[in-house]
Amino acid sequence: MQQPPSNRPPRRRLTKKQIEALRRRRRREKIMNISLLAVIAVLIIGVTILILKPGSSNSASPVPTPVPTAAPTEIPTAAPTEAPTEIPTEAPTETPTEVPAAIATAAPQTGTVAYGNRSVHFRVTGDIMVTDDQLAFAKTVSNALGDGKGYTFTPQLAPVMESLQAADYTIGNLETSIGKYKTRDYSGYPMFNAPETLLDTLKECGYDFFTLANNHMLDRWFDGMKNTVGWVEQYGFAHVGAYRTQEERNTPVIIEIGGIKFGFVAYTHSTNTVENSCDKAVFEYGVPYLYKADIEGDIQRLRDAGAEVVVALPHWGDEYIRQPDDNQLSYARRLAQAGADIILGSHSHMVQPIQVVNVTRNDGTNKNVFIIYSLGNFLTSHDLEYTDAGIILDFTVQEQPNGTFEVVDIGYVPTYCWTHDGGVEVVPAKVYLENRPSNMSDASYQRMKSTYEGNVQLLGSDFKVLDK
| Per-domain residue ranges of the chain | 119-460
Task: Give residue-wise pLDDT tens across range 217-254.
Answer: 999 988 999 999 999 999 999 999 999 999 999 999 99
Cα 153 from chain centre: 24
What is the DSSP pairing of strand 405-420 with strand 423-428?
antiparallel
Task: Give residue-wise pLDDT tens across range 332-367.
Answer: 999 999 999 999 999 999 999 999 999 999 999 999
In angstroms, rounded to a whole number, what is the distance separating the alpha carbons of residues 401 and 338? 24
Alpha-carbon dihedral sign for residues 226, 231, 234, 237: negative
Q: Which residues pair with 310 in a beta bridge?
A: 263
Task: Give residue-wise pLDDT tens across range 26-41.
Answer: 555 544 444 444 444 4
Compute CA distances 403 → 117, 400, 406, whole Å: 10, 5, 10
Q: What are phi and psi of 80, to 5 degrees?
A: -60, -30
pLDDT > 70 in the chain, percent:
74
Helix (H) or strand (E) holding 238: strand 238-240
In angstroms, rounded to a whole number, what is the distance separating the alpha carbons of residues 458 and 460? 5
**pLDDT exceeds 50 at position 74:** no
**pLDDT exceeds 90 at position 266:** yes
User: pLDDT at position 230, please?
Assistant: 97
In angstroms, rounded to a whole number, what is the distance separating the alpha carbons of residues 98 and 87? 23
Q: Which residues pair with 123 in a beta bridge?
A: 170, 394
- Across residues 197-204, what is the average pLDDT? 98
362 Cβ contact partners less than 8 Å away, ≥ 6 residues apart:
296, 337, 338, 339
Confidence of residue 202 (pLDDT cuts 50, 70, 90): very high
**pLDDT exceeds 50 at position 139:** yes
Is residue 66 within 8 Å of 45, Cβ to Cβ?
Answer: no
Is residue 61 within 8 Å of 111, Cβ to Cβ?
Answer: yes
Task: Give residue-wise pLDDT tens across range 395-410.
Answer: 999 999 999 999 999 9
Specify whether the backbone of 328 is left (phi greater than 0), alpha (psi in -120 to 50) or beta: alpha
In the Cβ-directed half-sphere of 80, how many Cα atoms lie within 13 Å?
Answer: 19
Largest pairwise CA distance in the chain? 100
Task: Give this prediction's pTM.
Answer: 0.77
Residue type, 78: A
Helix (H) or strand (E) holding 411: strand 405-420
119-460 folds as Purple Acid Phosphatase; chain A, domain 2 (3.60.21)
Confidence of residue 283 (pLDDT cuts 50, 70, 90): confident
Confidence of residue 289 (pLDDT cuts 50, 70, 90): very high
In angstroms, rounded to a whole number, what is the distance separating the alpha carbons of residues 190 and 359? 38
Q: What are phi and psi of 218, to 5 degrees?
A: -110, 25
Helix (H) or strand (E) holding 452: helix 442-459
pLDDT > 90 in the chain, percent:
66
Q: Which of 269, 272, 208, 270 is nearest to 240 (CA)?
A: 208
- Across residues 184-202, what is the average pLDDT? 94
Strands (E), 8-142: 119-128
What is the DSSP pairing of strand 260-268 with strand 253-257?
antiparallel
Compute CA distances 258 → 252, 343, 394, whole Å: 19, 20, 16
Q: Which residues pair with 315 in a beta bridge?
A: 268, 346
Is residue 118 within 8 Å of 399, Cβ to Cβ?
Answer: yes
